């Protein structure tokens, strides 16, 4: 495994910085003006160096316990990013057969480091994962466990499973991405888990491999993670008394970032990960298990930005609108979650910042990136960068309004390479039949 540079408290949160007082915003050694000129806009740009560094910080924080960091593929499923992470020792947390196919295409050697989560696995997806030889299924219902057993028996392949238990732990986050309470669709009531493990012990095609928990996303306090894993550890000890010895505890993902940090503000990623790891490790004290983690956002969000070009600056009464060539189909988080993203000009112009709405060209009032945001003067043709877009940006993009999706570029040291070409309208029409 390569030796990775560690963050310090003085490190900026993002790899996107101005090279000089009058210089353009850059990612590492590469000017975003140059990248936009070469690949056009909208354009996603990612820093491979920061992604690898963040993974290394998790691995270093957990060095005293057997562990596997399983990257949550849903955050950003670019094949080049999956290969980058696999090359640095990561496993993968998938939630669909399509994501499994992505891991198989990008890093077939990592299939044995894949866990399959998700509340609605189909028989076809289970078959696909059994055939591939993944590490384990994170099972979310008794019906799913029965289906897994029947598919495993049909293929005469023993299926390793972990029950995803619901610990009924509240995590302060957006209600759409909270998953740890009893009323959510995810997981199995932890009070029922012991019985289910006992019943599954009699099935020759099922192997109780571990237990899994995931309480939500964008959680910035370590305390809820510790509370959830404490309840899971109690279950592991109870099962050991029944003769069921689990090998892994999957603590899930969900560690959040601060989207409100100014561009130049420092961020101690190492301390944040250490706090999280300490809370989980304290809950597992005395247990001889391998710890699985499923970070997604924390690895890739701040490593990515969406570049857009200003089309128009429009004034309606007292309102000023900056209309860009990027839209909600390219980055839906503000429309879907009312999410905040820092937005900066790629080349700042002098002048007083004034409140503006930064919007896209899609025919929806919800097509916006910022409302009443104080922003420096911009003119048509200027470039802006929407920061912290590396997670749930391209992954949630669509072709709404028949808009081709953006290209993606991965910056690593002195190189910057295209990892996904821009879609064309011909690509969008190809599957259709008149």
Catalytic residue set:
363
Q: Are 280 and 226 in contact (CB under 8 A)?
A: yes
Distance CA 178, CA 6 (A): 31
Pair of tokens at residue 174: 């957006």
- CA 420 to chain centroid: 18
SS3 9: coil
- To the nearest 10°, the Cα dihedral for 171, 173, 175, 180? -20
Between the CA of residue 290 and those of 37, 177, 282, 295, 385, what are the distances in Å? 47, 26, 14, 16, 40
What is the DSSP annotation of 202-233?
T-TTEEEEEEE---BSSB--SHHHHHHHHHHH
Distance CA 142, CA 203 (A): 14
- Rounded to a whole number of angstroms, the distance between the first and last alpha carbons of the chain is 52
Q: Are 387 and 305 in contact (CB under 8 A)?
A: yes
- Radius of gyration for the alpha carbons in the chain, expressed in angstroms and rounded: 23
What is the DSSP annotation of 353-388?
-EEEEEE-SSSSTT-EEEEEEEE----TT-EEEEES
SS3 72: strand
Distance CA 18, CA 154 (A): 59
Residues 6+ apart with CB under 8 A from 73: 82, 92, 93, 94, 95, 99, 102, 103, 296
């Amino acid at each position: 495994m390569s030796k990775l540079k560690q963050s310090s408290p003085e490190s900026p949160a993002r790899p996107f910085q101005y090279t000089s007082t009058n210089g353009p915003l850059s990612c590492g050694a590469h000017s975003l003006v140059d990248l936009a000129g070469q690949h056009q806009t909208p354009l996603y740009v990612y820093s491979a160096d920061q992604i690898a560094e963040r993974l290394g910080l998790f691995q270093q924080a957990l060095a005293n316990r057997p562990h596997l960091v399983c990257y949550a593929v849903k955050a950003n499923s670019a094949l080049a990013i999956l290969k980058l992470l696999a090359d640095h020792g990561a496993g993968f947390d998938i939630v669909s057969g399509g994501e499994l196919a992505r891991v198989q295409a990008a890093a077939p050697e990592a299939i044995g480091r894949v866990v399959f989560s998700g509340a609605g696995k189909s028989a076809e997806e289970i078959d696909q994962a059994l055939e591939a030889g993944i590490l384990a299924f994170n099972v979310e219902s008794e019906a799913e466990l029965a289906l897994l057993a029947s598919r495993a028996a049909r293929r005469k392949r023993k299926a390793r499973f972990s029950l995803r238990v619901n610990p009924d732990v509240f995590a302060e986050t957006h209600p759409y991405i909270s998953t740890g309470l009893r009323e959510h669709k995810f997981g199995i009531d932890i009070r029922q888990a012991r019985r289910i493990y006992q019943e599954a012990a009699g099935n020759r095609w099922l192997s109780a491999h571990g237990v899994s928990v995931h309480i939500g996303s964008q959680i910035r306090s370590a305390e809820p993670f510790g509370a959830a894993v404490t309840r899971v550890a109690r279950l592991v000890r109870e099962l050991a008394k029944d003769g069921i010895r689990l090998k892994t505890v999957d603590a899930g993902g969900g560690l959040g970032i601060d989207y409100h940090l100014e561009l130049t503000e420092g961020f101690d990623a190492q301390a944040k990960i250490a706090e999280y790891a300490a809370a989980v490790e304290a809950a597992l004290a005395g247990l001889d298990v391998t710890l699985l983690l499923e970070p997604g956002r924390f690895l890739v969000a701040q490593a990515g930005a969406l570049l857009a070009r200003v089309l128009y600056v429009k004034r309606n009464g007292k309102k000023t609108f900056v209309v860009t060539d990027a839209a909600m189909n390219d980055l839906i988080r503000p429309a879907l979650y009312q999410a905040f993203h820092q937005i900066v000009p790629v080349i700042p112009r002098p002048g007083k910042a004034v409140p503006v709405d930064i919007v896209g060209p899609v025919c929806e009032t919800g097509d916006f990136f910022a409302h009443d945001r104080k922003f420096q003067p911009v003119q048509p043709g200027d470039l802006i960068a929407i920061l912290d877009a590396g997670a749930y940006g391209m992954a949630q993009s669509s072709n709404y309004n028949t808009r081709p999706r953006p290209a993606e570029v991965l910056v690593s040291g002195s190189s910057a390479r295209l990892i996904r070409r821009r879609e064309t309208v011909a690509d969008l029409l190809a599957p259709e039949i008149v």
